[in-house]
């Protein structure tokens, strides 16, 4: 039926059509109408058809508050970002929303802004709305205190994780990601690898640095110098590259803790006349296309597959809602995206 028709009908009623309206129009009782529309009970096909017709006629949409009231289920989940919504949240939310939408669930968005008060306020709101489950996300992979204890609905932490190991968390396998980056460099024959990354207080920076060191150690190799902790910025990348070039140790590859840092490094190397990837191979982390593609040359990087992570978290939540919780930390694998900054130089003649 056309939107116009729906509108006319609704205006005649001056309110959304209810199942009683449908029943009346079809000449049956509400009970019958309900069964007809939900394919339950045993009804004459004729009756069923008549009811469906009436429903279409009126543009009937079941009132979900009523549905909720007797089923107890709302088919909604809350998504709380504990710190401000940021760049990482986009693919994450997309994945969550996608997986839940497919399960016919709607998502409440709650931005707690790093404020514990707001966080608790949202939690109460969500519980009062009787959401079927809650997803907690954050801007960092740091573990955080559980958002509540013994909550009446399942909770899944995505990207961020809970300090309680019994909670269900889905986090990127940053260790695995870093190892893939190093593996790749080793396969290219690079053995003198430096590591420039973000602040040491950041969980991600530490984990990635540790994994890098450990992977090299497995090959009997050491990092060129110590991991260089600084900031997640291009400026730090440039500065650190300068320091590195000023030091006596030679290096043939730099693995960076973020794409921004890597891009700063690329700029500094180029300014100093060092060629990427010929003299120095360069790998970033995050696979943030804005950076990787603008970098000269295009940057090889580790992708945390956040959309997939979001989908996984959502699916774990759905199964938990259906009574099969999967407690513990779940690792979401990272993927290495190879680009020109580590391309093997080809001799054309």
- Residues forming contacts to a copy of itself in the complex (CB under 8 A) are 3-4, 7, 10, 16, 61-66, 68-69, 74, 76, 79, 84-87, 89-90, 93-94, 97-98, 101, 106-111, 124-125, 127-130, 148-150, 152, 233-235, 260, 263-264, 290, 293-294
The entry of a copy of itself, DNA, none near residue 148 (CB within 5 to 8 angstroms by kind) is a copy of itself
Closest separation in Å from C-beta 22 to DNA: 7
Tokens describing residue 111: 């931005």
Report whether the peptide linkage leading into residue 240 is cis, meaning its omega lies within 30 degrees of zero: no
Q: In which residue are the tokens 């530490």 written?
A: 206
**Rounded to 5 degrees, what angle do the CA atoms 102, 103, 108 make?**
95
Q: In which residue are the tokens 């008549």 written?
A: 50
Backbone angles phi, psi at 107, to 5 degrees: -115, 125
**By CB under 7 A, is residue 43 in contact with DNA?**
yes
3-class SS letters over 40-52? CCCCCHHHHHHHH
Contact pick of 1, 14, 15, 142 for DNA (by CB under 7 A) = 15
Please say which residue, 50 or 208, places its beta carbon nearer to DNA. Answer: 50
- Nearest-angstrom CA–CA distance, 92 and 41: 42
* 158 three-class SS: strand
**By CB under 7 A, is residue 66 in contact with DNA?**
yes
The entry of a copy of itself, DNA, none near residue 74 (CB within 5 to 8 angstroms by kind) is a copy of itself
- Nearest-angstrom CA–CA distance, 207 and 210: 5
Q: Are 266 and 282 in contact (CB under 8 A)?
A: yes
Closest separation in Å from C-beta 42 to a copy of itself: 27
Q: Which stretch binds DNA (CB under 7 A): 24-32, 80-88, 159-167, 223-231?
A: 24-32
Please say which residue, 35 or 339, places its beta carbon nearer to DNA. Answer: 35
**By CB under 7 A, is residue 152 in contact with DNA?**
no
Tokens describing residue 63: 């009132």
Q: Which residues bind DNA (CB under 7 A)?
A: 15, 18-20, 27-32, 34-35, 37-38, 40-44, 46-48, 60, 62-63, 65-67, 69-72
């Amino acid at each position: 039926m056309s939107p116009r028709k729906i509108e006319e009908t609704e205006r005649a009623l001056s309110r959304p059509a209810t199942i009683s309206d449908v029943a009346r129009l079809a000449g049956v009782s509400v009970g019958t109408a309900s069964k007809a529309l939900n394919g339950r009970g045993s009804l004459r096909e004729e009756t069923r058809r008549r009811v469906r017709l009436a429903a279409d006629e009126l543009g009937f949409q079941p009132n979900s508050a009523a549905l909720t009231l007797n089923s107890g289920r709302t088919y909604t989940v809350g998504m709380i970002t504990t710190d401000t919504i940021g760049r990482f949240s986009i693919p994450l939310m997309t994945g969550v929303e996608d997986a839940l939408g497919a399960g016919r669930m709607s998502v409440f968005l709650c931005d707690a802004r790093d404020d514990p008060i707001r966080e608790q306020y949202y939690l109460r709101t969500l519980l009062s709305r009787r959401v079927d489950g809650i997803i907690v996300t954050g801007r960092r992979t740091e573990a955080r205190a559980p958002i509540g204890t013994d909550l009446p609905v399942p909770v899944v932490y995505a990207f961020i994780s809970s300090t309680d190991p019994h909670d269900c968390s889905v986090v990127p396998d940053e260790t695995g990601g870093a190892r893939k980056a190093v593996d790749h460099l080793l396969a290219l024959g690079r053995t003198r690898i430096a590591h420039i990354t973000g602040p040491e207080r950041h969980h991600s920076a530490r984990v990635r640095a540790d994994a890098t060191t450990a992977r090299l150690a497995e090959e009997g190799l050491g990092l060129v110098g110590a991991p260089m902790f600084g900031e997640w910025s291009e400026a730090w990348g440039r500065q650190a590259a300068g320091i590195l070039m000023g030091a006596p140790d030679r290096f043939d590859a730099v693995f960076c803790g973020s794409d921004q840092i890597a891009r700063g490094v690329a700029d500094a190397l180029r300014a100093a006349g060092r060629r990427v990837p010929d003299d120095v191979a360069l790998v970033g982390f995050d696979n943030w296309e804005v950076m990787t593609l603008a970098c000269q040359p295009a940057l090889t990087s580790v992708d945390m597959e956040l959309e997939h992570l979001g989908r996984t978290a959502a699916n774990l939540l759905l199964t938990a809602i259906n009574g099969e919780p999967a407690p513990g930390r779940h690792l979401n694998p990272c993927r290495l995206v190879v680009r020109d900054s580590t391309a093997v130089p080809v001799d054309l003649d």
